[in-house]
Amino acid sequence: MPTRLSLALPLIGLLAAAAQARGPSPAPLDAAGVFDFYVLSLSWSPSYCLAKPQDAQCSGKGYGFVLHGLWPQFANNRWPQFCAPITALTADERAQGMAMYPSPELLEHEWKKHGTCSGLGARGYFDAADRALAKVTIPPELQPAPNARRLSAQAVKALFQQHNPGIPAGGIAVYCTRNQLREVRVCLNKALAPTDCGQALKGQCKQPDLLVPGVR
């Protein structure tokens, strides 16, 4: 008379074969190092400072575009975030990051939410952010200035493409808050070369022109 174990063994074998046929399980959505490309986000600091004047970057430093973050991104417009393990920054790593980020609060937030998902570790991530920044030239027309200006989102995009001819037409997007310029985002592949954003980034400025606030 067959035992329960002898009856179960063929079933276990069939299940194992089916699992092997399906292939390995997909990586978790928030697994470090699992993403399609990077988004380099450059924030127009004067707009941010109108809403958050108490922030450290708004103390008369005269910033224009600043690093908001280097974000791992999926092509389907999703992104990983807060990838384990979330390790605390050392003093040396924090000093490295503060050479690029305009405030310690932003540095800590960006490391925990986005940097942990790069799979590079803190030093590698901040090095990648530094090299990504070097890939993008800020147009002279969008350097910090005391007076406010008005430009369309398309004009902002055109200026960036004019001074960065390696960025494809679909590799840059402009974002605004109400009628104010907020950010310019550039897509970079894992080797940090400009790439098309595909469906991931479209921008969302509908106004015919944007206010570009003067520096604070």
pLDDT truncated to tens, each residue of the chain (216 aa)?
444 444 444 443 443 443 343 334 445 568 999 999 999 999 999 999 998 999 989 888 899 999 999 999 999 889 999 999 999 999 999 999 999 999 999 999 999 999 999 999 999 999 999 999 999 999 999 999 999 999 999 999 999 999 999 999 899 999 998 889 999 999 999 999 999 998 888 777 877 889 999 987
Q: Catalytic residues, which ones?
A: 68, 110, 114
List, in order of start, the domains of the chain with CATH numbers: 37-212 (3.90.730.10)
Contact predicate 42/183, CB 8 Å: yes
pLDDT at residue 74, rounded to an integer: 94
pLDDT at residue 28, rounded to an integer: 59
